[in-house]
Chain A
Amino acid sequence: MNPARRQFLTDTVRTACGVGLVALGLGVYSRNTRALPAEAIRPPGALAEDDFLGACIRCGLCVRDCPYDTLKLAKPGEPVALGTPYFVARSIPCEMCPDIPCVKACPTGALDPKLEKIEDSRMGLAVVIDQESCIAFQGLRCEVCFNVCPIRNEAITLEFRHNERTMKHAIFIPIVHSDACTGCGKCEKSCILEEAAIKVLPMHLAKGMLGRHYRFGWEEKQEAGGALVTPDLPHEYNLPDGMRYDHGGRGLIQSPGGEVPSEPALEAIPRRGGGL
């Protein structure tokens, strides 16, 4: 083989291998950075994390237009994908500006411009994560989270329970509602404990989900305006004349005068689809 050609091929393969290794390392590293720490909250309107990492160009315009210094860009060495915006609720929460300047500033749509009302944003979900430390659960009056919540009495409500310890007071328990909570983090910021008992978690950590096939019978029934399945047939006992069986706990009863209470006739029950 021509030495020049050999040299060329060697150099090319060498470069390709080196760059290939770099690309591989980069790919693996980029997969790792998808694991956003739970305390790092994305700005309002941020796309789902996988899409966000492809859409955010790390320019910091959202950070600049945040009037409360809430947002910051991840620096090298921080456990958030380098240069992407986030905030930590316990440090500075989102003040939920009605004009959403951070979303307006985003040039790429990584913060979704379709978010028009800040109340519709879902940055995360507040969870009363430690009932053992929350002093409200001990029967003490606090309600700071309830009082600072910008969606007052909707995102966090107070539920009254009887205080079993004193036997004469009420316990005021904060309950978070996911249909109203935006995850702004003001409750976490204001929690009076040394370590907050209410914390904003990412949706995937905060929420469970029913099986996709699962339906609550009573809801379906109400929607359909009646039972959707054949009601169970009442059990028939083969009893001596004049006897009946009571499920309420009285057991076998001898009806006076040999009268048997009438059971509904089988023919009267409508059957759906002719099934079993």
Chain B
Amino acid sequence: MAGKNLNPGAEARAKKGWLKASQWLILRRLSQLAVLALFLVGPVAEWWIARANQSALVGERTRAAQVDRSTAAQAAQDSASAHKAVATAAEDWWIVKGNMASSLTLGVLPLTDPYVLAQQIVAGHWPLTTALVGAGIVLAFYLLVGGRVYCSWVCPINMVTDAADWLRSKLGIKGGARFSRGTRYWLLGATFLVAALTGTLAWELVNPVTMVFRGLVFGMGLAWGVVGMIFLLDLLVSRRAWCGHLCPVGAFYSLLGAVSPLRVSAANRARCDDCMDCFAVCPEQQVIKPALKGADKGLGPVILSGNCTNCGRCIDVCARDVFKFDIRSNNPSTPGVVEKREVLP
């Protein structure tokens, strides 16, 4: 078993073909990159136009300002006009403005991160209607498709931690620090507590999730260091430490996932041959067992835990197509049996 898990999904790839055995992974990466691209179209267009317009102007202006102080005021004004010209020329290129905390798509659709907004309300500021509507739309979306779809399909940190986990298993790194899976909920509570006590969005000063996305769209600064730290944390300190144990953003979205209709189901669990490939790739291993192995206890096949990220990687790597995306209600279980959502393997 151990030897086989060093290369989970090999059997699926051999049997279903590489594309079929990686389809959800590929779609997720495309989704993550597409979200980023939508935010970047505007800034890149603006940068492109500015580069074309300004290279000649800038040198001239600087020289003029140095030579003669009477032109200093004029130079400042010229610089402002040049900026304005670029902004005007790039206006049509904007698809999404802002970042994951709050954005405006095509000038009409506001989207706001409900977790950031909740911190703001706890900190004592009641937001404008725009932000409330935006948060409502996002909330409704994730309540429908599963809160942690944010983590696996949108969040850029996911690519970092997935890469760290891939390398960790390739290098055979084992052990390290042990965090409780519940730590993230404690941290979630702590972020609200600190917001309430300080009256500021204290968590947003260090939140790597928003920091990195904001960095990618507005300029990284030292945020690369944070990316590196999370990579090393997941690679060396503990498996899936950040996304699976610590991140309060993920914890918030897990709460939404506890009721969402779209779920992964081990619908064909009778076919399972205990190869453990799904466990090997799953970022939240504790969510699989009740659904996959609960048949004789009367548990239904749907993965009910809100911590499941709906990443679909288990669907990919299963050579016997045990898993599929399904609806929460499509979950035949013995009446009266105690619903169990997570079992540590």
Contact = CB atoms under 8 A, between A and B. Distances in A.
B98 A61 contact: yes
A109 B223 CA distance: 27
B66 to A, nearest CB: 10
A180 interface: no
Interface in A128-174: 142, 144, 147-148
Contact of A75 (B76, B179, B222): B222
Given A59-B103, A64-B97, A189-B76, A30 B202 contact: yes
A100 interface: no
Contacts of A147: 73
Nearest to B193: A23
Interface stretch (B12-20, B79-87, B299-307, B328-336): B79-87
Interface stretch (B28-36, B146-154, B205-213, B308-316): B205-213
Interface string B213-252: 0110111111101100000000000000000000000000
B76 A26 contact: no
B220 A61 contact: no
A109 B128 contact: yes
Given A18-B183, A54-B195, A107-B131, 17 more contacts: A19-B190, A23-B191, A27-B202, A30-B202, A30-B205, A55-B120, A58-B201, A58-B204, A59-B101, A59-B112, A60-B98, A76-B221, A82-B205, A107-B102, A113-B128, A142-B69, A144-B69
A214 B75 CA distance: 46
Contacts of A64: 42, 94, 97-98
A18 B225 CA distance: 23
B86 to A, nearest CB: 8
A190 B127 CA distance: 37
B160 interface: no
Interface string A78-121: 10011100000000110100000000011111100100000000
A53 to B, nearest CB: 4
Nearest to A75: B221
A122 B284 CA distance: 51
B80 A75 contact: no
Interface residues of A, number: 59
Contacts of A22: 187, 190
Contact of A26 (B102, B205, B221, B223): B205
A83 B76 contact: no
A19 B221 CA distance: 27
A69 B120 CA distance: 27
Nearest to A14: B180
A175 interface: no
B48 interface: no
5 contacts: A19-B183, A63-B218, A83-B101, A105-B104, A107-B130
Top 8 A-B residue pairs of the complex, sorted by shortest distance between their CB atoms: A75-B221, A59-B102, A30-B202, A54-B123, A77-B222, A53-B200, A23-B190, A55-B125
A75 B223 contact: yes
B103 A190 contact: no
Given A57-B120, A60-B214, A107-B102, A30 B76 contact: no
B211 A83 contact: yes
A232 to B, nearest CB: 51
B182 interface: yes
A30 B198 contact: yes
Nearest to B127: A108
Nearest to A59: B102
Nearest to B72: A192
A237 B205 CA distance: 74
B102 A54 contact: no
Interface in A1-41: 11, 15-16, 18-20, 22-23, 26-27, 29-31, 33-34
Contacts of A59: 98-99, 101-103, 112
B194 interface: yes
A105 B179 CA distance: 41
A77 B221 contact: yes
Contacts of A50: 199-200
A83 B120 contact: no
A144 B72 contact: yes
B221 A61 contact: no
A60 B206 CA distance: 17
